[in-house]
Chain A
């Protein structure tokens, strides 16, 4: 097995309970998980199985109810608000299920929002070029299609050259050609920067481009498949 230095993420016994008055929803029921540097992991699972919740906790967007999660030497579950902010700012790139762009900023400015505060960013235009949106850089989100908005969000996530790239259904709204472009952008960042990439998807076909596939069900990891070889995105059949 690999030495501990190789492990970027470690989680053990992670649970998350949402309380809504008397109602309790167990979104995560004890997750044990590890990810190596540069690994490309695809997360599958039915709706409501806790995938987004897990990703949010690992990304420092939300707090676990119990259990531990580590990023390198940082214990995420123990970090303060400020520590989590610093963690997200320095290490994590997000692509959200909903595009979450700032409506009053253009595509380029949405990317600059991140490059502005990142330590080693790539130029905003380069990031937009990676997702094939160079010619739409000056458009506002409302002037872009859903898929284009999502690609801006991806450009924004990769523009900081993150160590970790967390994507929640990045291709959900895209046609296959753009979907492939997006996945290529993701794999390229994954290779070039060695960013550990976690991608949630409902498209089981994508699993073939991953190093490892994890399947969630009812708040637990129920299956884990390691691919001996990764396919290129262009080889995936949608």
Chain B
């Protein structure tokens, strides 16, 4: 036989099913957030580690213009170098018929053999015959974007010559997980692909017989990469080396890292807040729910149940609710986490996905949830159990409603029911405050989930519409003299053409240093501008550098400070330059100079690295064709396409993630408001029924309860905005990396949406309990005490 108390647990669960479900869902949302984010993050992290390991991803990467193969021996002799491979890595242009917009491919020589570095993961077909001059393997995303496969030919421009290459296989590489084309901000597999070819074929195509253009190194465990890089840079400097990059600066790895960091910020900042909010709300809700059972607790004690037994009964009750919540949350979290990890894995071109579930996270979620629920129960039971049963069984002592609300009454002409509302709110200030806080937290987590859209919009606006305002950009293979600019101006469709110069450099301040490209802009440039932090165009000084905020922070410099600049091209001058200003910039690290000043420092004459262009939209096809055909062109980027890709990618990743969070936050909001309304109804049911007995209409009686709810919900809005702002501020710090700097912008819509969701939740709750108010049992009131 089931003991009667246990039966009471089950019956109460069923009686309160709607509330139980709401509480369980709030808990589930908290648990799911924690699990889904962590699951996705841990899986991606582990997948990357496994992939790097199995495919022997290199530790150090270095580009040179052209170095003899003999140099490889010296590189291998550097202390700590386990393996070194000389490769040929060169850019080429896509020449696919019917593809109007420009695209590029990166040619990479195939790794030596099974022991080579950056091994390919062959998805389809076979590797090229080492002797073949035509056979290639191409990257998977690119293959899909163009509907290519083994047996197809790929038309490209290599070293200025048109070629038809033969695809024998499709592969992935740990080097191009985040396959970012030159000048692009987001991977775009349609306009950028990787082509692996036998080294002999590439040597011939790029006139690099007996030479190489790129080095990859694997280090012995425990080796300091900086020491190796120092030695390596000395060796490669004479051959046009622009400085080796450790793995952490390798483009694919760095972007992947930044993305994972962002994911981890979403995972580490928001979910614990969700879970804590859910826990806090459940704690409050259960404690009030149990306080309602005061008379029954008194009765159980009166007939001889010990305080322990009573407490145990209620703990069982909340444990069941918590268990339901945890189970739903874990199932949903696991499922969503797997989906999310898959989405990211697809985006990142991982060959496989290692699902990782951290039992500790599951345990933590369960412990916090159970702790909060049981804590709420114990707290409530304890206050009641402490009362003598005779007192507990009687309703709570009538509140001493003193004339504390006199001023409210004077302020607004309240009717008697209005006075009731005001008295309630003031009589239990703690309860009013905690309810307000609870609703405010619902608003806050919505704000915290939604804010990043504003930041992204702002980033897009600043980057694409205020700073980089050109329609297209041509980058030359090597710096060209001024007449290259005139050649570009002759191309069809060119309305405005502004040159720029870019030089790889290492900028240091004290013991901090960063490698980046210094860009020289012509005075008064309108297509690529340097803006100050107030979004005003900046004048470029005759000498001196303008650093982006992110770079200034990374180097800890302020305007007026001196920095050491080591140019990594040409004659490699080392200079000391003043920082003359700080500019705004959200993507990457940036340093800007006047183009004339930069060229003077380089002492190579007036060279340009590329041209920013404004294009007549009706002639873009003709322009692309001409630009592609120009022998000096290495890459062409199209701003509109980049922006489109940027937004698409964000839509895919962040939007999905945020949508999940918003839905979970909304569930929490609805659960909380509904429970608060139900509990308020239970607490005041008798009073309201008495009003009905006295002849008040349903409307008037509902008005009392809804007035109280409305006051709390309205009070909670500004508080929720404030808390949400705080959470957002904490998140934005975790979001930033060298690659992205996320501005903290919350659009007014965010507050509006958050409030609307919560207000809608309140409205739905009000409607849901309206029926209950209409069915208040007047007889019950007359039948028993008071």
Contact = CB atoms under 8 A, between A and B. Distances in A.
Interface of A: 20-21, 56, 59, 61-63, 81-82, 85-86, 88-90, 92, 94, 96-100, 102, 104-105, 109-110, 112-114, 116-118, 142, 146, 156
Nearest to A61: B390
Contacts of A62: 388-391
Contacts of A61: 302, 388-390, 393
Contacts of B391: 62
A180 B552 CA distance: 94
Given A98-B785, A104-B15, A117 B304 contact: yes
Interface stretch (B257-265, B293-301, B347-355): B293-301
A171 B314 CA distance: 33
A113 B400 CA distance: 36
Given A61-B389, A104-B11, A105-B7, A85 B299 contact: no
B3 A81 contact: no
Contacts of A146: 783
Nearest to A157: B303
A112 B304 contact: no
B311 to A, nearest CB: 13
Contact of A88 (B7, B15, B303): B303
23 contacts: A20-B397, A20-B400, A56-B388, A61-B388, A61-B389, A62-B390, A62-B391, A63-B388, A85-B304, A88-B301, A89-B306, A94-B302, A96-B302, A100-B299, A104-B8, A110-B4, A112-B4, A113-B300, A114-B303, A117-B305, A117-B309, A146-B783, A156-B303
B388 A102 contact: no
B603 interface: no
A56 B390 contact: yes
Contacts of A114: 303-304
Given A109-B8, A156-B303, 19 more contacts: A20-B397, A56-B388, A61-B388, A61-B390, A62-B390, A62-B391, A85-B301, A85-B305, A88-B304, A88-B389, A89-B305, A102-B8, A104-B12, A112-B3, A113-B303, A117-B304, A118-B304, A142-B780, A146-B783
Most chain B CB within a 10 A radius of its CB, from A21, A109, A118: A109
Interface in B370-404: 388-391, 393, 397, 400
Contacts of B3: 112, 116
A118 B301 CA distance: 13
B11 A105 contact: yes
B5 interface: yes
Contacts of B390: 56, 61-62
B310 to A, nearest CB: 10
A85 B307 contact: yes
A99 B299 CA distance: 10
Contacts of B389: 61-62, 88
The 6 closest A-B pairs by CB, nearest first: A89-B304, A62-B390, A61-B390, A104-B11, A56-B390, A88-B304
B775 interface: no
Nearest to B10: A104
Most chain B CB within a 10 A radius of its CB, from A63, A112, A118: A112
B307 A90 contact: no
A155 to B, nearest CB: 12
B784 interface: yes
A105 B4 contact: yes
A112 B179 CA distance: 71
Contacts of A63: 388
Interface in B305-328: 305-307, 309
Interface in B1-53: 3-5, 7-8, 11-12, 15
Contacts of B307: 81, 85
Contacts of A104: 8, 11-12, 15
B295 A100 contact: yes
Contacts of B5: 113, 116
A51 to B, nearest CB: 13
A78 B400 CA distance: 32
A89 B303 contact: yes
Nearest to A99: B784
A118 to B, nearest CB: 8
A67 B372 CA distance: 43
A1 B302 CA distance: 34
Contacts of B7: 105, 109
Nearest to A90: B304
Interface in B619-654: none
Interface in B109-149: none
Given A62-B390, A100-B299, A104-B15, A109 B305 contact: no
Contacts of B309: 117
Contacts of B302: 59, 61, 88, 94, 96, 100
Given A61-B388, A61-B390, A102 B299 contact: yes
A113 B295 CA distance: 15
Contacts of A96: 302, 393
Nearest to B398: A20
Nearest to B7: A109
B388 A116 contact: no
Interface in B271-302: 295-296, 299-302
Nearest to A101: B299
A156 B780 CA distance: 22
A59 B303 CA distance: 10
A113 to B, nearest CB: 5
A156 B397 CA distance: 27
Nearest to B394: A98
B306 A85 contact: yes
A116 to B, nearest CB: 6
A86 B306 CA distance: 8
Most chain B CB within a 10 A radius of its CB, from A56, A63, A86, A110: A56
A88 B305 CA distance: 9
Contacts of A59: 302
Contacts of B12: 104
Contacts of B296: 102
A81 B305 CA distance: 11
Nearest to A108: B4
Contacts of A110: 4
A94 B783 contact: no
B163 to A, nearest CB: 82
Contacts of A90: 304
Nearest to A87: B304
Contact of A100 (B15, B304, B393, B400): B393
Nearest to A62: B390
Contacts of A89: 303-306
B384 to A, nearest CB: 13
A103 to B, nearest CB: 8
Nearest to A92: B304
Most chain A CB within a 10 A radius of its CB, from B7, B8, B390: B390
A56 B296 CA distance: 16
A85 B392 CA distance: 14
A154 to B, nearest CB: 13
A82 B306 contact: yes
Nearest to A53: B390
Contacts of A98: 784-785
B98 to A, nearest CB: 73
B14 to A, nearest CB: 9
A20 B399 CA distance: 10
Contact of B303 (A56, A81, A94, A142): A94
Nearest to B3: A116
A199 to B, nearest CB: 17
Contacts of A94: 302-303
